[in-house]
Every structure is written in structure tokens, then in C-alpha cells.
Structure 1
Amino acid sequence: MSVFIKPLRVFACCALFINQASRLHAQQVPDTISKKQDTMQLVDKKLKKLIYFNTPKTLSTVSSTAIPGAELTSTLVASYPIALAGRLAGLTTSQNSGQPFNEGYSMRLRGQSPLIFIDGIPRSVSEIGIEEIESVTVLKDAVSLAMLGVRGANGAVSIVTKKGMVAGQKISFTGQWGIQQPIQNLISKPLDAFNYATLYNEALTNDGLSAANNGFSQSAINAYQTGSDPLRYPNVNWADEVLRKSAAIARYNLNTSGGNQYVRFFVNLEHFKQDGLLKTRDDINTKYSTDANFVGYFIRSNVDVNLTDKLSAGLYVQGRILTDNSPGNSGTQGIFNALKATPNSAYPIFNANGTYGGSAQFQNNIVAQGVSAGYSKTNTRTVLSDFYLKYNLDDLSKGLWVKARASFFSNLAENYIRNKSFAVFEQISGFGTLSPVYRQYNNNTDQANGNNIAFQNRSDFQELSFGYQRDFGLNGVDAVILANRDNLINGSNLPYAIQGISGHVSYNYDKKYLAEVSFSQSGANRYPDKGGFKYGFFPALGLGWNIQQEDFLKENSWLNQLKLYASYGKVGRDNGAYYTYQQVYNGSPGAIFGSSAGTATTIGESFLANPAITWEYAKMLNIGIDAGFLNDRLGLNVEYYKNNFADLSIMRGNGSSLLGISYPNENIGKQNYYGWEAQLSWNEQKKKWGYFVRLNASLQKNKLIYSAEANQRYSWMQRTGHPVGQTYGYIAEGLFRSQQEITGYPTIEGYTPQPGDIKYRDLNGDGVINQYDQTTIGSQKPSLFLGAKLGFHVVGFDVSALVQGVINQEVYLSDNSYWEFQGGTAQAYQTHLNRFTPATANTAAYPRLTTNSGPRNGATNNFVSSSFWLRNGDFVRLRNVELGYTLPARLTQKVGLKSTRLFTNGLNLWTLSSKTFNGADPENFNGNYPIERIFSFGVNIQL
């Protein structure tokens, strides 16, 4: 309970302080501000703001999609990208781990890794408190990205933090408490000791080895089956011994906002605590935690001040203190690697005398690895500060302004390592007697203490901008021009700076005809040019037509909006290496001259420099239609895009080993990314009830255009013209079901197949299966990403649900994640029960078993890259469900509360996936730290 009570005490004290401070700021609130002001309308206005310009979306030609931060706040996760999954067209979010603060998430925007902005400034950090977020906007086309210059081609995610507004003081407290449960993955389905031993002996026989001499005896197999001697013949489900069935998670947030005509403020305090799923044992260790947990404290203060009628200023400050813990030595991932490498029969957890079990082959007892190897902590401290001054120049020309801003960011993570080793013991004789004999492996040692800097970086940002916004009769103009510099120092690296001048001009005539121009002249300092900076010019043009403003449609009551728009432009991508245009030399091994002469030192290139290295770029085309019908209850957006990437920095594929050194990266690659995006919404609101449905779909495809590919003997071996990242290998045609099938089938170069082996297609018909029969494998259909958000409210109740789906996705099954007995003795899984045997020849779905699984172990047929291991990865997931109830105002106001809302939330509740995953999590099926299903309850109190 201390997890919940202590933070409440801290927040109660903070509430008293913030309440008094905010009352001083919020005095003299104008009476013209209604206490019932529609907050969502204010949020909607802010969603129209892009990074550098404020053109309303109805008068803009850009491709952007936005959601309010209020949609994310009740999702109980530490990192906001996880909460974005399925919400925004074009943005795909995936997660491959549930480890606290190390969730392994990734974001892709139209196939690329987008740049992250927080309040218009690029950041290297994305883990801000969810309650700080006012809105999230994705920018996808050339007009919205050209001002980013050499780093705009991947798209951008713009995070706008909450600000104060001219309104009465508002204090909000949210407490949310939840239970995490691991979703099933690979480690949930290991073979028990009996089946493992049986299948292992079978694999030895298949390998031509003696099971009697190298495997398990029949008496051992019988003992595994009966469980008669668990010390000598253990059957330990290591996942059950290491992982909890559930763990706690909690978040507390307290914020206040408000202001008057002089000062507007938003202050936010947040505490987040997530326990891990690793078991701890009080009987072994009570001094410290060896769980993989995370604790975070966030504070933000955004203050905007009108210093005079024309001069305004703002100071935005954020601080974070984060601590994540993990067991010592191998860490959390090491434990999960051990789970995949250790069969249930390896050793008992404890011997009869209470010592840790082990063996010569398995000396790292997994339970001891988790609780008796010490621990390590990583403390991360972040300080961020943004400051701006804005001056109104209406005296010179109405609508003219100038703004200067600066920012500083510092991030430091320090590791505190408290490791120790442990001994394991194997009983070698004396079974069933009072005097067992043990053999010891490793030693118990005292704790070794150390610390080091995990990473550190800092950045500074400066910008000067001029803006102009004015209407001249039917003509509207919105323009901005700016110069900025972003300087990043990461660890011991030399500073990395990007600087330039950029601008944007938006014009509309009678709100019907729209035109926009964006440009940037920017460069980075790691290229061979004067002063270390190499600049490029990146222009973009957008045109639009608000058809509903035309006279022939203006009076039409059923049509509220119909806009056609298109944009085209060039945007850069800085992907240059670390000063690779400078040739670097090193001392090579000495050369010997003659039979008795000494050696002579030689000099060689560390790498081959490329003095012509430059930035990459993309030419982006975007065409779209926006429509609104029936008083904007029905909304529709459809876009087509094509992004042609060129000058990609790659190593040519037609190089020669005669060069004696690797070829350098050159700007020669070309790739195309293209597809369709669609959003459809329906919103019905009545006085006491309402409902909404929002659907989005993204059809994404790509193609490799040029990579200086080496000449291939056959056309099917070529990679050019196929999707980027396409898997290559042999086309599998099932298993050899009998020796008769092998006879007369094309021979496999360097291998004699047996029944139960995978057979491959002979593409060139020469009767031999070799490298000339490798080609593209798997589907080349475009990937389809789906999202749906729906909900309704009636009286005080509200319900919402979020669904995410992926279609035409494939996964490749390999290594310890799927193959049996990796390294000769590693774990095996229930899927291997469906292996090939003479009795299952017609039904088996898995090849014959072997103890040499994997190409690294010499197996030259079954485990080479082939379509056999490429499987359907489609899934649909009920990502989030929430049920809330807002207490009647007549009750809450009696105790001085503006509103009180109780809610319950579920994350990752249900998943429909292909048979590939056999019920396992489709995003984390390979045995990593499980993704969690989270059930939570919360309360939001408004003062």
C-alpha cells in the first residue's frame, strides 16, 4: 500500500502550494470569460497549429493529422508512443517488449522513423509525461516538412504541451492504479521434461547419434513422466519460477492552469511507478529489489506573460528524474535469454541442502540469476528549458511580429552496478542417502560496486523569426521566415549542428483558392564544405480549392466542407556518417623483408573516405480530399502520396573484394514509398447523449529502385524492383514425406536430404538446389494498417474503445524463438510436438528434429533462409477500452469540486491473430519480456 499512499501525501502537500500560488496568478480574471467555456473547442483550435505556422487547416494544403492529448491521459503507460497505436492515419506504432521503461516501441510514419518535436523544437527524448501533452500532430507532406530542411524527409511528430489560458483557475488531480498481467508468448509454452527428453532422443537418432550414449535413458524418461525423483530428474517450468502472474502499476498527476490578461500558467507534477514481472524472494534477499521496475517523477511549468501591450514572453521548464532497476550481471534480457536456452530438465532450483542447483553445462541457475546476482539501477536526470520573447509590430504594419527563442536541454543517465556471483552445485552421488556428494561450479562472492555514465547529451537551440498575418479584402496572407540553429553534443562525440534559414507563405483568395510555399536553405556540419557546413535548398508548393465556397455549392445545407489539395516538394534527410569524408589511417601489421631483416611499420586506411558524401533527399507528392457533410457529423479524408528517396547513403552492391577494404557509403541509392490513407468519422451529439466513430486506414508500399546491385545470373535473383527489406531465400515446397519423394528430386548441393527435411524449388531447372535458386520469398502485397476509435456517452456515463489492426504482415520464425535445441541443448516448445516422424508423415507441420538446428551449427538444409519459416503476421487487437462515470454536478459542488470522474481502463484486452502465433502475442512472440494486459481504475477530480 505504500506504493499508493506515499505519493498521495506528496501530492497533497504540492496541491496546497500550487493552490495558493495559482490564486495569486489568476486574480482579475475578466468577467467576459465564461466558466462553462468549451475546452474541446480550444483544443481543436490548437490542433490547427503546425510547427512554425498557424494557418487554419481549412485554408491549408498540408497533410497533417492530429489528436488531443486528452485521448491519451487514461492509458496507463510510461511512454506516450505506446498510447498512439491505431489513432493516426499514416503513423504505425509497434511494441516488442513490456519491460518497464524499455518497451522496445517504434514509430513509423509512412514507412520512415519520424523526427520528434516538442513545442516546435527537435528533441532527442520522447518520454514526457502524458498529462503534459495538449496535442499530437503528424506532419507528412513536403509543405509541412520543407522548413525542416535536411531532416524533414522522414516526416515529423509534433508534440504541443499544455499552456495556460485566460480563464478561471483550474486544479486537476488524477490517480490511477492498475494490475499488469503478462500476455502469453513463446516462453509460456515450453516442453515439459518428459517430452523434452523424448524429443531430444529422437533428434539424436535423426542425427545418426546414439540416444543411449548421448541422450536420456529410459529410466530417466520414466522418472520425468512420473515426477518420482524431482531432485535427480527435475521438471522445472522456469517461466513460472521467474515470472509473476501480475504486478502493480500506478500514476498520480496534479496540475493547475489558468491566468488573466497578464499571466497564463500551466504547472504539472506527475509520479509514475511500474513494478516488473520478475519474482523476488524474501527468503533469499530482503535488502534490495532485483525486480525490473521503473519509477519516474515529472515536473513542468509553462508560463506566458504579457510584459507590455506589445511584448510577451514565455518560460517553459521541464524536469525528469527516472530510475529503472534490473537484476545484476546479465540484466533483465539475460534472464529471458536463459529461459530460451534452458530446458525444464536441466537442474533443480535447489538441492536437498538448500544450495542452488546446476551442472557443468548449465552453471547459471535462472532463479539465482534473478535474485542472487545483485542488481543495477540507471538514474536518468533531464532538464529542459525554453524561453521566448515576442514583439507585436502592428505600428509598422498590422499583423507583423518578431519572435526570438532559445532552448537548452540536458540529459544524463548513470548506472549504479551492484553485482555479485553465486555458486551452483550438482549432486553427483549419494542419491536417496543422508550423505549426498556435490560438485561445485562458480563461487559465491561479495557484492562488487561500481558506477558509470550510461549516456549523456545536451543540446542548445536558437531561433529568430518574423511573421505576418493579415487579410486584404478577399485576400488572406500568412507568412513566416526564420533562422535557427540546433546544436547537439552526444557523449564524447564532436558537436552535431544543423542550421539554416526557412520560410512559409500561405495565401487564400476569398477562402476558396489556396496556395502555399515553404522553403529551407539548411545544412549540417559533418560534410565536406566550407566551414564544415554543407547547405541545400528544399522548396515545396501546395495548391488547394475549397469547392464548398463556390456559389453553386455554398447554399447546399448537406455539404459543409469539400477541399481538394495537392503538394509537391523536395525535403532533405541527414544520414551522413561521422566525418567520413576525412581519410583516416592506422598502423597496420608490420611487413618482414628478407630472412633476417626486421619488420617495417606499414600504414593503412581505417576506412575508405568519401569526399563527395552529402545529405539524402526525397521528392514528395501528396494529393488529398477533405470533406464534411450533414453539419460536419460525417467527415472524410483521403490522400495519395508518393515519396521518391534519392542520394541514399549505401554501400554499392557491385563492389569487388580486390579493393582490399570495404567500399565507403555513397549517395547512390534510390527507393520509392507510396500508398493511400483514409479517415472516416461520424459524430452525433445531442443534449444528453452522443456517440462517435473514427476509422483510419493506411495502405503502404515501397520499392527498391537502385542500389548498384551486382549483376545476377538470373532475373529472379535481382533485388531491384522489389520491396525494400524484402526477404530472400529458397521457395519451400513442403517436406519430403518419404524416401521415394527424395529419389528423383533435384539434389541439394552439399547435403543429402532425409524424409522430414524441407524440399525447395529448383528455379533454373538444372537439377541442383543451390544459391542460384534463391529469390524473393513471401508476400509483396502492400501492408494495410487499420485503426478504429468509437464511443458514446449518456447522462454521466461514457464508454470508448480503440482497435488496431495489421494486414499483409509477415514474420520470420527462427533461432531460440522457434527452432529446437539451439546450441545442441536449448529449450524446445509445444509446437515441436507436431514434428515429422514416419507416423506423422502426412500431417506434420514441422521438419524432423535435429540437435544441430540453425545454420550456425552446420545444418545446411532445414534452417537456411526459406519461405517455410515465413508466416502470416496479421492481427487485430482491442488496444484500449474505457468506461467512465462523471458524478452529478449538484453533488460534487456541495463539497467544493467542479467535477469528479471515476473510470476504469483496459489495455491490450483481446487479440485476434493468425495461427502462426498459436495464441501468443503477435508483437512479442519470440520470448522477450512479455507485453502486459493492464486493468486499471482511476479518479479525476477538478477543483
Structure 2
Amino acid sequence: MRKNLPQFLSFCFLVLVILFAKSSYGLSNRPDTIPLFKATVLDESQAPLQRVKIQVQGTKTSVLTEANGAFAIPAKINDVLLLSFDDQVFLKYKIESLSVNAIIVSSQNPVVKQHRMVKMMFGIEVPANRTPASVDVVYNADLTKMPVTSVANALTGRLSGLYTLQSSGQPGADGASLSLRGRTPAVFIDGVPRGFSIVNLDEIESVTVLKDALASGQLGGKGFNGAVLINTRRGTNAKQSISFTAQTAFQQSLKYAQPLDAFNYASLYNEALTNNGLATVYTQADLTAYQNQSDPYGHPNVNWVDQVLKENTRLDQYNINFRGGNEWGRYFVSMQHLNQTGFLQTSPENNYDTNNKFKSYVVRSNVDVNITKSLSAGINLLGRILNSNDPGYINPGGNVVNAQGIFSAVINTPRNAYPVFNPNGSYGTSPNFQTNLYGQSVNSGYVANYKRDVLADLFVKRTLDEITKGLWVRAAVALSSTISENNNRTKSFASFYYNPTTKTYTQYGNNGIQGNSNFINYQGRADYLELKLGYDRSFGKSDVSSVLFANRDNIVSGSDLPYTLKGLAGRTQYTYNNTYTAELAYAVNGSNYYPPSGDNKYGFYPSAGLSWTVSNEKFFPKNSFVNDLRIFSSYGVNGNDNPGYFTYIQRYFDGPAVYFGSSAGSNTSIFEQPLARTNLTFEKANKFNLGLQTGLFQNKLGLKVEYYNNKFYDLLMQRGKNSTIIGQTYPDENIGQYRYTGLDFNLNWQQAISKQASYFIVLSGGLQNSEVVYIDEVNQPYPWMRKTGEMVGQTFGYLAEGLFQNQTEINNSAKLVGYTAQPGDIRYRDLNGDNIINQFDQTAIGQNKPLLFMGLSLGFQFKSFDFSALIQGVANRKIYLSGNTEWAFQNNGLGQAWEHSLDRWTPATAASATYPRLTVGTNINNEATSTFWMKSGDYLRLKNIEIGYSLPKSLLNRIKLSTIRVFASGTNLLTFSAYDRVDPEVYNGTYPLQRLLNVGVNIKF
């Protein structure tokens, strides 16, 4: 059956398309005897708006838009339609033609944001102004403004409560990490647990963040950290539209550590040796040769960045999608190709590519059909091909070094290490390095990765109005399979040390030894089953919506045994008079990673919330500057299924061991894994949320503010007070407790100045605080050593008090154990006053203020021109600088030195020095974890700007096109940071972020 699955799915898809085509043909030729104005209400990203009231101005004639945004109303040319939510008019539309396909509404309009339907988990849709749950949504039109390869990167600064951090710019591995109210959220695509990388921006309709216990209440053991729900685009009840977008971006690396030239490097190296009490290695003649570059082979000064890295590269994207349908069937089909090249130089002598690069090919098809008036079905199919490439250099340890490794070597290799080429044209090197960076990039073969993903979601829904109106049942199944294959075509190359004095060569490595291997480095599959029973009905002023469902999620990862999570969940919402809403969500589930019997296998997670729309009360003043006011709150319990891989079973493994008289590996011993846990249970979180939402000044201004207080408990961790006397690793236990508190905010203003001009401003973000409530830490002799009460993830170290200026200061100060201080070394505070610097003087040195992050989106439209910008910023953030890209002469003295090393302490620069005295190799005093290396990570970044121009309709009508829009955009254009020597997101030698300058065109048929 599994082998025939692709053919079966393809057959199902073909049948659905044929059914749609037949019904479409019949309807398009059906005579329309009733004079109706038919259209679909969509936002700028073509997402449908349902429950919009359409009324002909001056009459009582009105209808509501359907789930797909469609409506039909008796109207004629020059009539004015009033579009409203709950009688709050947000658009007046004059009918100029009866053949209009869609009415486009701005998603930034405060009335629209507050009242439109929000997609929740498992296909549930609720009005944003009714649910007590804490959610925020961003739509396709905003997401696609940035030419990025990861959906996570497009979310930066656009959702309240969601903090993003992009810590790498490497092609294919540049996705940002997410923090939702301090925790890493789960990711769902169309209600199925899947990863971000499986979708591209063009196929997304909306992204919803589920922040409180109520919003993620049906997730049970997966709702602990909140969730990010991605909803893909679907067909509409409208004539077919075709959209094609082509864009090209030029990439340029943002700032990274700048190495010294050979002369300064050698000069400082001599100084560092002197500080260590050692003899210098560079003579004055050496320094002169480095300075005037008179001896490029014996005294090289190689700019490795210029030699190995390109200054600019390209990112090309092409998207085409087809969308349409009728009342019997709807479809959305999209195809995307992306090609992102890396920064490594290549050689024309190779007939293969050694550069790092990333390519993707994605095809998605979403089809919905109404088989009968009471039976509907749908199928979502996705196929994806990802190809990536890296150089094939194998280091002495036998590991392939990817682009990140080569980049690290480029910025960490001194400029005087060796020449790129020797006098005879061979690759240069030296006894200390024994390889050549340029050769690693262009002459070491390549490593290609091929990844394939196939997804299929199928569902059938049956209304049961014959039993009672509003009753329905829905069954769904989702399947996915992924495989990742590596094809290694590595090649060795020889490097030579050239001795200018003897004019002899010493060879390191061998030429032309090719390694060929092919292997599957990952393979996985998953299946998801769901059965739902729902009820939606209105009784006068009362609206009832309820759903009960059972689901099963089964994941097979590599060679592991399946991980299966199953259970029951439900949700019930009751609304009275569009004013009062009560909502209840609950889940009961458990997984096979727990003991098969016992009270802890299943967890129960209830949550509830209330919402009160005060502005709908009779006593609320009308025509006030406050047009809409709602208060909402929720409380509940979420869980986290985190038991580990069958950790309740005591396991034993064999492995090499050392016996008397034998060498390691000559015998085999049986050794015990960490002690088994038999009483483990789900991690849990009690979450409280309180919010206020309002519309002001005729609903031009929208405001939403929320306070949350979340206590996480039964967290799995080892006891700090465990004894090592048994000689075995202790298991994790459900003992930890953390607390997260904060505020989320969203403020937006949207105004139409005239029929041809409008603008909007949106400010969103959050304030996140955390506290370690309990971690069973060891008894600390001093209160400043305790982690309990500090922020989660707090860094501990010494408090630096500047640099020692003279021996007198050293004599009168506390000393680091095992180290003899010298002038220019870092001085630390003696917290306990014992005149010794040791672990008893370490305290919290990281940030102790709540993290503040925000995104400011703004834009305007004037006639055919449109402009938008996104500014993103973070405050109360700390970064810790360390390692080879911060400290000089690491790696036993073979490491790099940097421009900031010039600011080191010397007797002459004592008053202005910002860096300790130089030493060679590791310095246990100056490189100890301390506030000296803790810098401000606050920044403000111009994340994106886009400007576009749409050709006039009069011209487009002649060439039978709907839209031609040309646009230009820039990403990561400007950064203002409190500590501007490094990039605030990428530092310590990681592949740098990219600045993108992008041009493109969108054509709609």
C-alpha cells in the first residue's frame, strides 16, 4: 500500500480536478436570470473575508459574505455598497461594473483586524472580536514583502509577543529562532505538526500565533510553549486568476570581525610574547618586509576575505500560482523555484561547482470540492526538492568542513600565515597550518545534499442538518515523508611550504585522492489522524459553537521507534448578543514514551476564558471617540510531552573499555545508561491572560494590550543536590519551576486621505520577563551565587572593575586563584572579601531587565504607487563576546588578532585602553567569564523597505492583464546598535547576515 500511495494520491487529485472542471464548465454557461452583483471580498493578499455585511446604501438590502468571501446582492451600476462588521462600516464601494471579480480590503484597517475571522487550530475559525483567547495574525501581503528563504525570518517585527533572532546568514540554514512569550513555540501547518521549512511565503494565507492557555488548549501535551499556526491559501469562488512573480536580490554580508594586516599582527604578536616573558619571533627586518610588502612569499600579507569570499551574490525567486473555482469546487496551485548562491570563490578550471548554494523546487495543490450539498472534501498535496552544495574539504579529523567552517577559518587565519600561491604556482602553506584556505574552497571537490519531502492531507466533511441544524462531522488524514541524501565527491590537494632562504618546498597532503560516498543521512515519516464532531448554531441572540475530536500523531524519525501521541480534545464557545462570550477548551492525551501503566501516562489540560464587548452595551456612549471596547481574559493549563526516548526503561549498551594489560577497544564491556525514570509525567504550565482591545477615532486607531503570567512547573531537570557517590548519571525529574510574565501590545492607525491615497502605521511587540522559581540547586554559601530568583538562562561570572594600572593596585587587590596578575589584566570584584577571586565571587552578570522588542510597520499608497517599511528593534538585551573572534592569538598562538586588539592596554595607553594586555594562548584571568565581555545587544534595524508601481488599468485592459506591478525592496539596510563593533544578532564568527537589494515584477492574469 505504501508503495502505491503516490499513485493513489495523484489519482484522487486528478478526479477532483475533473469534477471541478465539469462543474466549472456547466456554471460558466448557466444563464443568470436574476440581476445580481456578485463578487468576493478579499484582502490585499487574496485571503477571503467572511461574515462581512454587504448593504446597498439607502436601502435595507443586505447579505453576509460566505466562508470563501463570496456574496451576491441585488444591485446596479453606481450603487454604493457599505461593507461593515457589526455595523461598523470600514469601506464604501461604488459599483462601476457588474463584472467585478473581487473587492479588495486593507488588512491593516483596525475594524478589519478586530472583527475578521481568525483561523485557530484544527480548522476552527472564530471572530477576532469574540474569542477570549490570545492570538495575533499576519497575512500574506506583509510576509511577501521580504525576499527571504525562511518563513521565520519574515515574521520578524510583525506579531505581538513573538521575538525572533536570526543568528546565521548561511544559505539554507539562515532561519531565525522564535520565542513566544519566552518559550519556543510548536509549529503547525494547516493544523498538522510540521516544520517551518516545509512551506514558502507565496503559498501562505496567514500565520497565527496562539499565545495563551485557551488558544492552544486543544493541543494538550503540545500546547506548553504556545504555537505558530501556518494556514496555506485555498481556492475562491471566482474566475481563475494567475499570478506570476519574478525577483532577483543581490546579497552583501553585514559587518563581522575585522582582522589585522600582517605588519600590525606581527608587531602585536611580539608584544604579546614579551608580556608572556618570552622572546620575540619577528625581527625588525621582518616587520619592515610586512609593512612594505617587499617579500610576498616569505612575508605574505594575504587578505583572506578577498581571496576566498565574493563581495556579492544573488538570490533568485520565481513563483506562479493559479487560483479560482465556483460554488462546487475551488483550487489553489502554486509552484516556486529559489536559487541562493553563497560567497565562496570558484575556479573556472573545475567542471563542477564548489560554492555553497541552496536551491529549492516546491509544488503545492489545495483543492476543495462540494460533492453534494451536505458532503465536501479536500486534498492538499505538496512536493519539495531541496538541493544544497558545499566544498568537500576534509579536515585532519576526517570531518567534512562546510561553508560555515571555511568562513570561520577565513576570518581566523592570520594574514601572514602563508601565501596563497608559491613562486612555482603551487598552493602555499606553513608547518603550523599545513593546508591552504583557497584550496579548501576551490580544489577539494564538493558535498551535495539532496532532500525530498512529500506531504498529503485529505479530509471529508458531512453536515448532519437532517439530525439537527448545525451538526457536522469531519475526518482527516495527513501523511508526510522526508529523506535526506548526501553525495560526497571529496578530493585531496597538496600544499607546500616554501622556504625563501633555502628555496626548498615541503609538501603537506596529497594531490588528487578522490573520495566517493553516498549515504542517507536522515529519513523520516509521519501520519496524523483526526475525527471531529462539531455543532454551530444561532438561537436568536445566542451563538453556540462546539467541537469534540480525537486525534493521533505518529512520527518515525530515523531508526528510532515510533513516537505516538493520541488523545481527545474539544472546544465550546457561547456568545450572547455579540457582547458576552464564554469559551472552554480541554484536552486529554498521552504518548507511548511513558510507562504503559500508571497514573502519569495521560494528562488533562483544561482552560477557559471570558470576553465582554463593553461598546455593545446600551449604557456605552455612542458617537464617542471610543468606538469599540472589549475586555477579555483566560486561565488554563497546558502540557508538554517531554519524557525522552523510553527513559523509563533501564538500558545497557556495550562499548570499548580499558582493562589492565589491554588497550582501549581490545575488549568489550557492558555499561549502564542513566538511571531509568518510572514516575515521570508531563511538564505543565498554568497560564493567565488579561487583555483590552479598543477602536478609537472612528476606528482609525486600533489598540490591543495584554498582560500574561505563566507558571511552568514539573519541568524535567536533574537535581543539583545529587551525590556522585553511586558513580552513575541521575535521571531528569519533574521538579523545575519557571515563571514568565510580560505585556504584548499592538497599536495600528489606518486612514484613507482620499479615494486615491491612504496610509497606515502599525506598532507591535512585547515585554518579556522570566524568573527561576525552583531548580533544586546546591546550597550556596552566598546569596549572590543563587540562580533561584534570577532570570531564566542567566549568565554567571565575575564583576569586572577595569584593568590593573600598576603593581601597587595588584598588591592591594584580590588575586585569581592560580594566576599571577600583571598590569593590564582585568581586575575583578572580591564579593565575599576573602582577598581571593574564585567561584564564590561569581554572580549574575547578564541582563536583569525584561526584554523589550518591537516592530514598526508603516506605508502609504498614492494612485499607482505604494511604499512600505519595517523597523525592528530590541532593548534590554545582552550579548557575550568570546572565543577566536574576540580574543587575540588563540589556538596556542596561531589564532587571529583584530582591529580592536589595537586598543589593548600598554603603559602608554593605560588611560584609554579598552582591551586587556595582549598574551599568547589562553589567559585564564582575562578570558574568564565576566562583565568585561558582556556588551549591550540593543539595536534598531531598518529591516525592510519596499516601493512599487502598478501600471494603469487603461493600459492593462488593452493587453488583457489584471495587474502588472514592478517593485524594488531592501532588507537589513541600516542597523543602529548600542555596541556597533559587531552585528547585534550574528557575532563570534558565525556566517554573517545578508543585506539584500531586490527588484521584481508581479503579473496577474
Contact 2:379 2:459 in 1 (8 A): yes
Find the residue that maps to 1:755 and give its secondary structure: coil
Contact 2:584 2:609 in 1 (8 A): yes
C-alpha separation in 2, matches of 1:466 and 1:511: 24
Match of 1:303 in 2: 367
Letter in 2 for 1:929: Y
C-alpha separation in 2, matches of 1:317 and 1:90: 32
Contact 1:573 1:616 in 2 (8 A): yes
Match of 2:235 in 1: 164
Of 42-51 and 309-318, the range deviating more from structure 2: 42-51
C-alpha separation in 1, matches of 2:24 and 2:864: 30
Letter in 2 for 1:255: N
2:346 to 251, 273, 280: 280
Contact 2:385 2:452 in 1 (8 A): yes
Match of 1:891 in 2: 955
Indicate whether 1:152 and 2:219 are aligned.
no
Segments of 5+ residues of structure 1 without an aligned counterpart are: 1-17, 854-858
Letter in 2 for 1:932: Q
Indicate whether 1:401 and 2:406 are aligned.
no
Structure 1 residue 560, shift from structure 2 partner = 2.7
Contact 1:26 1:169 in 2 (8 A): no
Structure 1 residue 573, shift from structure 2 partner = 0.8
Find the residue that maps to 1:126 and give its secondary structure: helix
1:464 to 528, 531, 552: 531
Structure 1 residue 122, shift from structure 2 partner = 0.9
Indicate whether 1:927 and 2:989 are aligned.
yes
Q: CA RMSD in A?
A: 2.2
Match of 2:170 in 1: 99
Letter in 2 for 1:299: V
Change over 3 Å in CA distance of 1:676–1:669 after alignment to 2: same
Indicate whether 1:207 and 2:281 are aligned.
no
C-alpha separation in 2, matches of 1:868 and 1:344: 28
Change over 3 Å in CA distance of 1:24–1:906 after alignment to 2: farther
Of 332-341 and 904-913, the range deviating more from structure 2: 332-341
Match of 2:137 in 1: 66
C-alpha separation in 2, matches of 1:209 and 1:653: 43
Structure 1 residue 163, shift from structure 2 partner = 0.3
1:37 to 96, 102, 110: 102
Structure 1 residue 69, shift from structure 2 partner = 1.3
C-alpha separation in 2, matches of 1:772 and 1:210: 37
C-alpha separation in 2, matches of 1:32 and 1:474: 30
C-alpha separation in 2, matches of 1:936 and 1:591: 60
Letter in 2 for 1:251: Q
C-alpha separation in 2, matches of 1:844 and 1:710: 39
Once the two structures are superposed, residues 90-138 of structure 1 have per-residue CA deviations (whole angstroms, 9 ceiling, x without a partner) of: 1111111111111152111111111111111111453412110000110
C-alpha separation in 1, matches of 2:19 and 2:276: 77
Match of 1:177 in 2: 248
Change over 3 Å in CA distance of 1:825–1:569 after alignment to 2: same
Letter in 2 for 1:693: I
Once the two structures are superposed, residues 535-580 of structure 1 have per-residue CA deviations (whole angstroms, 9 ceiling, x without a partner) of: 1000001011100000012633533321101100000011211111
Find the residue that maps to 1:308 and give its secondary structure: coil
1:707 to 761, 769, 775: 775
1:754 to 800, 817, 822: 822
1:378 to 436, 442, 449: 449
Letter in 2 for 1:200: Y
1:499 to 552, 560, 566: 566
Find the residue that maps to 1:740 and give its secondary structure: helix
Structure 1 residue 447, shift from structure 2 partner = 2.1
Structure 1 residue 587, shift from structure 2 partner = 5.5
- 1:662-673 equivalences under 5 Å are 662-673=729-740
Indicate whether 1:357 and 2:428 are aligned.
yes
Find the residue that maps to 2:350 and give its secondary structure: coil
Match of 2:509 in 1: 442
Find the residue that maps to 1:370 and give its secondary structure: helix
Contact 2:146 2:971 in 1 (8 A): yes
Match of 2:932 in 1: 868
C-alpha separation in 1, matches of 2:455 and 2:174: 23
Structure 1 residue 925, shift from structure 2 partner = 2.3
- 1:221-236 equivalences under 5 Å are 221-236=287-302
Change over 3 Å in CA distance of 1:346–1:742 after alignment to 2: same
State the identity as a percent: 46
C-alpha separation in 1, matches of 2:934 and 2:658: 49
Contact 1:700 1:783 in 2 (8 A): yes
C-alpha separation in 1, matches of 2:475 and 2:442: 54
C-alpha separation in 2, matches of 1:221 and 1:592: 54
2:884 to 797, 807, 816: 816
Match of 2:121 in 1: 51
Once the two structures are superposed, residues 298-354 of structure 1 have per-residue CA deviations (whole angstroms, 9 ceiling, x without a partner) of: 101100000001000001101101101111121212202312431000000001111
Indicate whether 1:249 and 2:315 are aligned.
yes
C-alpha separation in 2, matches of 1:76 and 1:21: 37
Structure 1 residue 286, shift from structure 2 partner = 2.7
Contact 2:639 2:683 in 1 (8 A): yes
2:593 to 506, 517, 526: 526
C-alpha separation in 1, matches of 2:424 and 2:709: 69
- 1:840-851 equivalences under 5 Å are 840-851=909-920
Contact 1:26 1:258 in 2 (8 A): no
Find the residue that maps to 2:527 and give its secondary structure: strand
Of 420-429 and 513-522, the range deviating more from structure 2: 420-429
Match of 2:261 in 1: 192
Match of 2:906 in 1: 837
Find the residue that maps to 1:240 and give its secondary structure: helix
C-alpha separation in 2, matches of 1:220 and 1:122: 62
Letter in 1 for 2:706: E
Contact 2:117 2:126 in 1 (8 A): no
**TM-score when normalising by structure 2:** 0.87
Change over 3 Å in CA distance of 1:590–1:202 after alignment to 2: closer
**TM-score when normalising by structure 1:** 0.93
Structure 1 residue 602, shift from structure 2 partner = 7.6
Letter in 1 for 2:262: A
Change over 3 Å in CA distance of 1:844–1:24 after alignment to 2: farther
Contact 1:897 1:942 in 2 (8 A): yes
Match of 1:877 in 2: 941
Letter in 1 for 2:119: K
Find the residue that maps to 1:657 and give its secondary structure: coil
Of 744-753 and 799-808, the range deviating more from structure 2: 744-753
Find the residue that maps to 1:194 and give its secondary structure: helix
How many residues end up aligned between the 2 structures? 904
C-alpha separation in 2, matches of 1:127 and 1:495: 21
Change over 3 Å in CA distance of 1:744–1:892 after alignment to 2: same
C-alpha separation in 1, matches of 2:983 and 2:670: 53
Once the two structures are superposed, residues 787-825 of structure 1 have per-residue CA deviations (whole angstroms, 9 ceiling, x without a partner) of: 110000000000000011010110111011211111111
Find the residue that maps to 2:389 and give its secondary structure: strand
Match of 1:14 in 2: none
Match of 1:260 in 2: 326
Find the residue that maps to 2:779 and give its secondary structure: coil
Contact 2:489 2:515 in 1 (8 A): yes
Match of 2:87 in 1: none
C-alpha separation in 2, matches of 1:657 and 1:902: 67
C-alpha separation in 2, matches of 1:131 and 1:600: 58
Find the residue that maps to 1:167 and give its secondary structure: coil
Find the residue that maps to 2:518 and give its secondary structure: strand
Contact 1:570 1:618 in 2 (8 A): yes
Find the residue that maps to 1:672 and give its secondary structure: strand
Match of 1:7 in 2: none
Match of 1:786 in 2: 854
Once the two structures are superposed, residues 45-78 of structure 1 have per-residue CA deviations (whole angstroms, 9 ceiling, x without a partner) of: 8751211322211111010000111212232111
Change over 3 Å in CA distance of 1:482–1:931 after alignment to 2: same
C-alpha separation in 2, matches of 1:22 and 1:376: 45
Letter in 1 for 2:120: L
C-alpha separation in 2, matches of 1:592 and 1:289: 49
Match of 2:795 in 1: 727
Match of 1:674 in 2: 741
